[in-house]
Amino acid sequence: MEISYCACGCGTELLFSKGRKKKKFIQGHHSRLKNSGAAARKGNKPWNKGRPRTEEEKEKISNSQKKSYKSKNRKTYIKTEEHKQNLIESAKKQKSKEHIEKIIDSRKNGPKYEEWKNKISESLKQKYENGDLISPFYIDGRYINDPNSQYNLYNGEFTDELKFEIRKRDNWTCQMCSKKRSTTVHHINEDKTCNVANNLIVLCRSCHAKYHFQLNDEDKKKQTEIFLKLITERN
């Protein structure tokens, strides 16, 4: 019996079942040859990359997809009730501090992190200058990051560890609208120097903004009483 070896030069023996058509390569090894189509395409920019499609091409693609869906040849992803329930339970599970830090680090180490960061920063600055957004930390065209500023008096006590404990205590749930996976930690008496657990509570971003910029003094007072009652019940 004649012994055949992979044509890429790796020296691996080719095994064929009886009656099966003989091949020259082990699966995937054809791309190792310098003159192969895969090797020739590697690193080359596709001819149609960035080229805008014509209306005729868009219509052809649309009709092709519609035909594929009608013929039921296209695979569709259908969630069963059991799968939906598993997704809900998974979303309710609390992420550990290590898991959250791992996610943050993976984003920071991304190739486009600095580019995204600069784009977001410039976009926010433009919105603040146009008056589309309002923030006590953005005054006269600049951010207030001075630790001695009246807008940022945390005194170094408002740490990530403290915020994590407050989120864990409140089950990562907004104490105004009961939205899950909320992370904003709010000072109940709005005093940023008072960073004790009984003065901190978890809100979602929407409710936190609503409390500071939409509620009047009377509504804030009522809401504060509700917060203090919730903290007392937990203790």
Interval 130-139: pLDDT, tens: 777 665 555 5
pLDDT in tens, 76-130: 666 678 888 887 787 777 667 777 777 777 777 777 788 888 888 888 778 777 7
Please give the model's pTM, rounded to 2 decimal places: 0.39
Both structure tokens of 26: 């082990």
Q: Kindly state the average pLDDT of the residues 12-38.
A: 64
Buried b (16+ CB within 10 A) or exposed e, 129-155: eeeeeeeeebeeeeeeeeeeeeebeee
Mean pLDDT of 1-9: 70
Per-domain residue ranges for the chain? 1-33, 105-152, 156-235
